Each structure stands twice: as structure tokens, then as C-alpha cells.
Chains A and B, each alone.
Chain A
């Protein structure tokens, strides 16, 4: 069966292409809110308790009658920095507008945002795609505008509660061009944007706290078409993986709708990560008219070119620059360097770990340790490396021990797990664990010879396979032998020994 879509005949054999644009809300890491002196974020040592609900509010963020907004200059600086780091043009004059909608957690009945003239426009960033990040693609950024966040509603059975601590928190909304074609590209864009805003220090980057939230605009079209299909907007997804999954789901759903003769409805959808599907929140017909108009309480925001120049000069090394430096300086692969520089704290951690070392092998080992087991554990726990028990000294010591063949990479995994779960002294801590757990790599394998011989004898079939040329089977013998040493044997030496014995 075939159907008409975008003026084209489509059927089950039609190759579709997905068009993706992303809108990301980045919470700016200013101490006070965008239009009042109320505290904007929890700092170290701040308690989170029932009493802290609505504590970070003044009459301004609560929208008391008669109050007026005063723009936080720091928030403007951060927005400009975000624009400069994403190659945007900074508008020296921009306008704040009111966006109206009624909701219980929006104290004024309108949100102060930017509409006609945002602070930054016409930017872009580069993403790396493919196996080893070998392919580069430029994604356009339409605009970056400043706005205030709303409060938070908590819906309980029969009633709702409102916490205004978040009301008036400064945000920038980064709107991309519809330049992405795959979930992978969308993920890469988000990770790069995240790396940039956290690197330049304008965002704390706490995903659980909603510091970085994404709305995905997705449409599909027959590959080659230059027309745009009807898009849906999937709102407020706050993990990179979920954005990719939501887009995957949405592109397939839209394809199915078209191929069953249905119509894509322009609507807002929500992603349910439990079920891994999106569902309709409201359709465009029900969508609200925001009645934007310039906020008469805020004069146009005028920025001096000299201020822009100063901010540009103050920008730190950006993730792309850092990645290129890591490749050159530490001999990392592009993939490893991209991974390491994806978050500000990880990059810093790595640099401290390899501080002063010119040994590229050592640096590579350190990068592998961090990118592999360490990141996996951090990711599972949902924390940043600087919030964990890990210390750069641990990884420096561990990488050195691996480099000196004092521990095996198998043992290293175990050591990293211990470092993660326990607080370990920074100096000599790893050596302590190695001693305590008996993880020292066995480099003298003479004691193993009888054991290997026994393994070969016990497995004549596999031994025969090896001798008849199926060399992959060597893994089986190495695994068995490694097990016998509780993972402590030097894997390279062990393999050589097994081969030698098999060939005897």
C-alpha cells in the first residue's frame, strides 16, 4: 500500500529521514536569581529539607503585587559567554518580553523571556560522529535567549503544592537549527553543548536537578525531500540517552503513522522512560496564545561591544580546543579525548592525574581507566567525578602500576570499584589496596606451568582445536589460567606461556 506524504508517494520501502531540532534549557549558575536578589541555587553546605521549601524567595520571585524585576548582570554575562562559546552573534540590543500563560506555579501569570530580539543569534557547534568520532558535523544554533524559570508543582492526591525556590532562576534557552538527522547526532549535539556550558562555568550541569533540560522537535520525510514534515515536540527530557531513545521512538512512530495512512498531528508529547515511549500531552489546537509583548518594566538590554570583547577574552579553553590539545599533548585517541573532555570535572581530573608526565603510554592508560570502569560507575551512581571518592592521585598511582606491569587491567577494575566505594588515602592508597587484596600482578609464571599443563590435559578437545589452527580458542585457556591466579597474572605473559605450552 502506498500513501501521499509531502507531495510524494510513500510505502513500506520508502527510506525516511528524520529532521531534529533541539531546544535546551540551561540553568545559569548565578548565585542570585535573574530578577531578584533571592538565592538561585543550593551551594555547598546548604541543607535541603522541608523548611527549605519556598525559603529562597523574595517578594519579587513570589510575584507580589507592585514588585518589579531588576536584571541580574551576572546572568547577562553568562548568557553572552554561552553565546560566544557557541559562535553566536551577540545582539548589543535585546528585548525582554512577557510570555503569558496561567499555571499555578507561574507567580505573575507570565514568564519574562526574550522573543523578538534575543541576546544571541546565528551560532553553531561541531559534533563528532561515527566509531571514533572521525566525522565532524556542524549544527546551527538559531538563537540563545534569556528567561526566568517557573516554580515547581508537586501533585499529590487531591491537592497540589508549590515550591517557588526555582521561580526566577536564570535560564538560557538554546534553540538549534533543524540540522540533525539521527538520534546519534542529537545525542552528540547535547553532549557537546553540555561540555561547553559546563566548561565555561555558566552551568553547574547537574542533570538530576534539571540544570540542562531538552525539548526535541522531530519530524520525518522521505529521504531527499526538501520539504519539512509536521513536527512534534517532546518536552523536558533530562538525560542524553533518553533524548536519543525518545527520538528513536518518535521517528518510528511517525513513520508508522504515515505508512498506515494517518496524519502526524503537531503536538507536544512527553517521554515515559519506563515504557520507552512518547505520549501526547496537548495538541496545537489546544495550544495557548502566549500574547507576547515587550515587558514595560524592563528597558531594552544594551550591551557594550567592549564588554563582549572582555568576556570573549575571559573564556577558558573550550572542549574542542581541549580535546585537540589532549590528543597532541597526551597522545590520546580522538575518541578518548572527546570522552574525557565531555565534562569539565572529568577533564580537570584527568589533567591532574597525568600532571607533569610526558609518558604518553601512561596518559593513555589513565584515560582508559577513567573512560572505562570509572565513568561507568559514576554514571550508574549519577554523580560527577568530583563528587565521588575518586582522587586523581589514585588514578595516577594505578596507571603507573599498570604501566610498570605491577597490576593487571583485570585487577585494575577491582581496584577502581574499591576506590569508588571506599574512602582511600590519596598517597599510597592504591598500593595499600593491592597489598590488602593480594592483587599484585604475578610476573613470574614458573609456578603456573604445572597448572597450565593440567588445564591443557583436562581439555584435549580445545587443545586439538588450537593446534589445528583455531587460534581464537587461546582465550579459553588464558581465562582458565587467569582464574587460577585470581586475575593477578600478567595477561600478556600468561598468554605467551599458554601458547608455548600448547605448542609443546
Chain B
């Protein structure tokens, strides 16, 4: 009993209730050593679960109202970057260790309106900055199956929690790969929808033009369902798009392997470079062969500006971050240490407050402040924006010829704790294949396809054209079916 579909069947048969299931998850969370959660909202969740359990019996005659509330009684984990009214929201930062927001993120409201239960707030890299979940003020998250390894970041808590069955599914956020990388490392499905699909209202900003909420689940079908529930235009987020949301859940449920016939699968040449772990390369190429064998048309494509992706991404992301994090100054937001109260000037005050940022966050604020400085803006931020448009055009051109593109999610499988934490550049390259889709605002997914000789998961990365989540989900479901038990 792992997926939403299975759980709902169990509810229908009276084999479980939302309350029993919720209690079960809290027991598992408390017994786990993964450090996946920062804050549990046990009383709140149990209260929700009790109401749903009572309603199921009395209001719905024991039959889950799947159409009305497609997530009925489903316990979820929420990445600690999303606000919930009255629930501590830390962004895994010491800066916000006592922050209790007065409002709830739109995405969380939508999930809870659909019957979901929020178990608690998941650990992450501080302010979603990192690829290994080692940058948390609350300690690193441990890989679900290999305790000496990282789960990937920044949604590492989400990846581990889903994989270690500490919740049915989780919300992550993705700026340059923060959903897809931990999904790949942890062996689960991760989906970043098109930029503008899901309201960012209540998502504490890292890089506003890139940030996007998405589901992390055990199956493609669950990812499709969560995404469908959360998507749609929101008048509280002017960057959301009023584009029709298809029934992605139905697409996922109804797709069969034979639907691959005629699917044009693009293989970007720039994504199969030296330095990719051989096992990763073999696994992805193996899956491409399987797709071909089942009738997909495999087409090499080229994305010529890929080589600039990481550099331009870091200019844009750190610039926006330096701006977004300005508000943590200890006046309203941010912990105010006692020595700050002795400060005689504002600058001195800020200095004493802002020591509470972790070193990666400080590094990015400094870089971003520099990149936006007068005299440098044109050379960095503006130039990066121009390159970003070129990358978008690369994708548009390539998508003239193909329906989806596939690649590895990351050059390697989950690495060891501490292995890259001293080398930011090496760490940044972990996201080399996920960053371009973020830069172009495209929907993308990570689907587990194989394991390496150590039993570490390998994910396939799928990218689709803007607002074509439907073809993305279809392709992802086919890959999931073809991977079978080898994942």
C-alpha cells in the first residue's frame, strides 16, 4: 500500500483510515534516523485525519470521494520553504528558526482542499541553495538507503521522506534541479512543471524567475495527480499562467507501453559528455534503446548554448537571491542576537544579524550583490538574461523535431556526505543537466530507471515543451513501465 490509488482502495475496503495511516506515518517518522523533517505538525495533522476519517464514514458512506477530493486522507510532507499559517517555517535557516507565518501557501491550500493531510515540514538546503542537503541549519538529511550518502538537494528531506516511506508523497521546489536531483538520488519520481503552472505564493523565494513547486512521489501517476491539483492561475501570483490544465492523472493511468509508437524522443548531444559516470550513461542509453525497441523514434538534437547554462544560471539565481534575502535583516524577519541589540549603527546591526546565514547562502548573497552592482549589471545580469533567451530558443528549435527529450538527471549517483561540500564549483556541476530546462521554464521530470552496482538509483531526465505536461507525463509513464523492476 504505497500509492494514492492503493491507499484509496484500502480506505474503501475499510482496511485503513486516514487517521490510522497518519498515525502510522508519525510512528515511522519518529523511528527514522534520516533527519528528513524539521517540524512535525502532529496535532494539526491528526485533527485533519480525524475529521476525514469521520467524514469518510458518515458523509461519504465509506467510499473515498475521488472526484471531489482526489487526495482524500493522503498524508504528505511539505518542504519547509512553503508557508503554513501558524506552523513554523524555517527554510532550514537559523535566520528563520522562530518564524511562524500568518498565511498558507496557495499550493498547500489546494492540496488540503483536495483532502491531503500535512504531516510536517521537510528538511532542505538552507533557502533551497544546495545540491546535497548538507547546507541545512538543522543538519544534513541522510540518503534513504545508504546512510553515508547524500539524498541530493535542495529538496533532500522530500526525497528521503518519500523513498523511506515517511509520507505518501511530498512537495519539493525546484530552481535548477532541486526536485529532480534528489528524486534521482533517492529513486523516486520528481516533477517540475512549467514555470507559471503552480502559484509560488507562499513559497519563500530563492530565485523568483526560476523557482517552481512540484511533487515528489513514488509513481508517475501520483506526480500527475498532485500536479493537476496544484496547477492553475492564482491572482496572488502574477507569474502564473492561465493555461488549461489537462487531466494528467488520466493520462498517467491510461498510458500503455504501446503508446510509445511514433513518439519522437530527442537526445541532446550536449548532455552526453565526458565525465558522466559510465553506469549512469549505460543505464540511460539502455532505456533509450528500450524506447526505440518499443517503437519510439530516437532523434539526436542539439542545444548549442548548453555549455553556458551553469554559469548563466548562477548569475541569475544569485542575483535574485541577493535581492529576495534582503528582508532578513533582523528588524522584522530574522533572529536578532543579543549582541545586535548593542549595535550603534544600522550597518553594525545588520552585520551582527546576518551572521545567522549559512556559508553557502552568504556566498550567493555576496555574488548576487556584486552581479547587480552599478557598472556590473550589464556585464552579468543583463548578459545572463540574453544567454537565457538563446537557451530558450535552442529548446524551441529542438522541439520542432521532437516531442520530449531525455538525458541523465545528473552525471553521477548519490555521492558521499562531505564529498563535494568543500568544493562549490564541483557541487554546482551536479545540476548541469537539470539547469537548462529551468532556465527555459520547461516542464521536466526525473524517473528512476536503474540502480548502479552499489544499489544507488539512476534517474532519467525527461523534458517537454512549455505547458505540455501531458506529453511529459505520458513519456514518463512509459519509461516507468519499461524500467519495471530494474529501477
A interface, CB within 8 angstroms of B: 59, 62-71, 98, 100, 102-104, 107-110, 162, 289-293, 296-299
In order of increasing CB-CB distance, the 8 nearest A-B pairs are: A109-B326, A296-B209, A296-B208, A291-B372, A65-B204, A66-B202, A66-B204, A66-B83
Of B146-154, B158-166, B266-274, B373-381, the one touching chain A = B373-381
Task: Determine whether the beta carbon of B329 is less than 8 Å from that of A299.
Answer: no
- How far, in angstroms, from A110 to B377 measured CA to CA in the complex? 17
Whether A65 contacts B83 by the Cβ 8 Å rule is: yes
Alpha-carbon separation in the docked complex, A363 to B17 (Å): 84
On whether A289 and B374 interact (CB within 8 A), knowing A66-B203, A66-B204, the answer reads yes
Q: Are B326 and A298 in contact (CB under 8 A)?
A: no
In the assembled complex, which residues on chain B have CB atoms less than 8 Å from the CB atom of A290?
Answer: 374
21 A-B residue contacts at CB 8 Å?
A63-B327, A63-B332, A64-B83, A64-B101, A64-B103, A65-B99, A66-B101, A66-B205, A68-B239, A70-B235, A98-B323, A100-B323, A102-B350, A103-B346, A107-B332, A110-B326, A291-B372, A293-B319, A293-B381, A296-B320, A299-B238
Nearest CB in chain B: distance from A350 CB, A = 44
Closest A residue to B85 by CB, please name it.
A59
CA distance in complex: A64, B240 (Å): 20
The reply to whether A68 and B209 form a contact with Cβ atoms under 8 Å apart is no
- B-chain residues with CB within 8 Å of residue A67 when the two chains form the complex: 103, 201-202
Chain B residues near A68 (CB-CB < 8 A):
200-201, 236-239
CB-based contact A109/B372 at 8 Å: no
Closest to B372 in A: A291
* Known interface pairs A62-B332, A107-B332; A293-B327 also in contact (CB < 8 Å): no
Residue among B209, B236, B326, B333 making CB contact with A70, cutoff 8 Å: B236
B91 near A65 with CB under 8 A, answer yes
Name B207's closest neighbour in chain A (CB-CB): A296
Chain B residues 64-108 with CB under 8 Å of chain A are: 82-83, 89, 91, 96, 99, 101-103, 105
Contact B102 A59 (CB under 8 A): yes
**Residues of chain A within 8 A of B51, CB atoms compared:** none
Q: Does B369 contact A (CB under 8 A)?
A: yes
- B331 interfacial by beta-carbon distance below 8 Å: yes
Minimal beta-carbon separation of A284 from chain B (angstroms): 12
Q: What total of chain B residues lie within 8 Å of the partner, measured CB to CB?
A: 43
Task: List the B side residues contacting A69 at CB < 8 Å.
Answer: 238
The CA-CA distance from A59 to B163 in the complex, in Å, is 35
Q: Which residues of B contact A (CB under 8 A)?
A: 82-83, 89, 91, 96, 99, 101-103, 105, 200-205, 207-209, 235-239, 319-320, 322-323, 325-327, 329, 331-333, 346, 350, 369, 372-374, 377, 381
Interface class of chain B by DSSP? loop
Question: Which chain A residues border B374 with CB–CB below 8 Å?
Answer: 289-291
Residues of B within 8 A of A98 (CB): 323
Q: CA of A70 to CA of B238 in the docked complex: distance in angstroms?
A: 6
Chain B residues near A297: list those with CB within 8 A.
205, 208, 237-239
A107-B327 CB under 8 A given contacts A63-B332, A64-B101, A66-B82: yes
Report B-chain residues with C-beta under 8 Å of the C-beta of A65.
83, 89, 91, 96, 99, 101, 204-205, 327, 333
Decide: A102 and B372 in contact? CB cutoff 8 A.
no
Complex CA gap A293/B138 in Å reads 33
With the chains together, A117 CA to B312 CA distance in Å?
24
B236: chain A residues within 8 A (beta carbon):
68, 70
* Known contacts A65-B89, A109-B326, A292-B377; 5 further A-B pairs (Cβ under 8 A): A66-B202, A66-B203, A70-B238, A108-B327, A289-B373
User: Within the complex, what minimum Cβ distance (angstroms) separates A113 from chain B?
Assistant: 13
Contacting pair B329 A109 (CB below 8 A): yes
| Residue among A63, A67, A69 facing the most chain B CB atoms (10 A cut-off) | A67
CA distance A133 to B173 in the complex (A): 64
Contact B204 A298 (CB under 8 A): no
Nearest B residue (CB) for A104: B331
- Say yes or no: B369 contacts A291, CB within 8 Å: yes
B327-A109 in contact (CB<8A): yes
* Complex alpha-carbon distance, A66 and B332, angstroms: 14
Residues of A within 8 A of B327 (CB): 63, 65, 107-109
Query: Smallest Cβ distance from A266 to chain B, in angstroms?
Result: 15
CB-CB under 8 A for A298 and B238, given A65-B327, A100-B326, A102-B346? yes
B411 to chain A, nearest CB (A): 29
In the complex, which residues of chain A have a beta carbon less than 8 angstroms from the beta carbon of B239?
Answer: 68, 296-299
| Contacting residue for A110 out of B101, B200, B323, B331, CB 8 A | B323
Q: Chain B residue with minimal CB distance to A63?
A: B327
CB distance from B326 to the nearest CB of A (A): 2
B326 neighbours in A (Cβ, 8 Å): 100, 102, 108-110
In the complex, what residues of A have CB within 8 A of residue B208's CB?
A: 296-297
CB-defined contacts of B91 to chain A, threshold 8 Å: 65
CA distance A431 to B238 in the complex (A): 61
Q: Are B381 and A66 in contact (CB under 8 A)?
A: no
Chain B residues lying within 8 Å of A299, measured Cβ to Cβ, are 238-239
The chain A residue with its CB closest to the CB of B322 is A291
Is B329 a contact of A102 with CB atoms below 8 Å?
yes
Docked CA distance A103–B201 (Å): 25
Residue of A nearest to B208 (CB): A296
Known A65-B333, A291-B374, A296-B209; judge A104-B346 contact (CB<8 A): yes
Q: How many Å from the CB of B297 to the closest CB on chain A?
A: 36
A282–chain B nearest beta-carbon distance, Å:
13
Q: Which residue of B is nearest A291, CB measured?
A: B372
For B105, the chain A residues whose CB sits under 8 A away are 66
Once the chains are docked, how many angstroms separate the CA of A102 from the CA of B238?
26
Q: Which residues of B contact A291 (CB under 8 A)?
A: 322-323, 369, 372-374, 377
Residues from chain A with Cβ under 8 Å of B238 in the complex: 68-71, 297-299
Q: Nearest Cβ in chain B — how far from A103, in angstroms?
A: 7
Q: How far is the CA of A297 from the CA of B207 in the complex (A)?
A: 10
Q: How far is the CB of B329 from chain A (nearest CB, A)?
A: 6
B201: contacting residue among A62, A66, A100, A296, CB under 8 A: A66
Option from B103, B346, B372 in Cβ contact (under 8 Å) with A293? B372
Please name the residue on chain A nearest to B210 by beta carbon: A296
From residue B85, how far is it (CB to closest CB) to chain A in Å? 10
> Chain A residue with minimal CB distance to B240?
A68
Contacts of A292 in B (CB 8 A): 372, 377
- Complex CA distance for A298 and B200, rounded to whole angstroms: 12
Distance between A33 CB and nearest chain B CB, rounded to angstroms: 14
A102 CA / B200 CA spacing, docked (Å): 25
C-alpha gap A103/B236 in the complex (Å): 26
Name the residue in A62, A65, A296 with the highest tally of chain B Cβ atoms < 10 Å from its Cβ: A65
Report the minimal beta-carbon distance from B196 to chain A, rounded to whole angstroms. 10
CA distance A396 to B208 in the complex (A): 61
B101 — which chain A residues lie within 8 A by C-beta? Answer: 59, 64-66
Once the chains are docked, how many angstroms separate the CA of A296 from the CA of B327? 16
List of B residues within 8 angstroms of A289 by Cβ? 373-374
Contact residues in A for B323 (Cβ distance below 8 Å): 98, 100, 109-110, 291, 293
The answer for the CA separation of A64 and B89 in the assembled complex, in Å, is: 12
CA distance A22 to B231 in the complex (A): 47
Query: Residue on B with the closest CB to A301?
Result: B238
Residue numbers in B under 8 Å from A62 (CB-CB):
332
Give A381 to B91 CA distance when docked, in angstroms: 53
Q: With the chains together, A336 CA to B33 CA distance in Å?
A: 84
Cα(A473)–Cα(B62), bound, Å: 108
- Complex CA gap A297/B323 in Å reads 12
CB distance from B385 to the nearest CB of A (A): 9
Chain A residues near B331 (CB-CB < 8 A): 104, 162
Q: For B333, what are the chain A residues with a Cβ–Cβ distance below 8 Å? A: 63-65
**Cα A190 to Cα B172 with chains together (Å):** 53
Query: Among the interface residues A67, A98, A289, A291, which one has the most CB atoms of the partner chain B within 10 A?
Result: A291
**Chain A residue nearest to B235 in the complex (CB):** A70
Q: From B377, which residue of chain A is reached at the shortest CB distance?
A: A293
> What are the residues of chain B within 8 A of A110 when measuring CB–CB?
323, 326
Shortest Cβ distance from A276 into chain B, in angstroms? 30
Q: How far is the CA of A372 from the CA of B332 in the complex (A)?
A: 50
Q: Which of A62, A64, A66, A296 has the most CB of B within 10 A?
A: A66
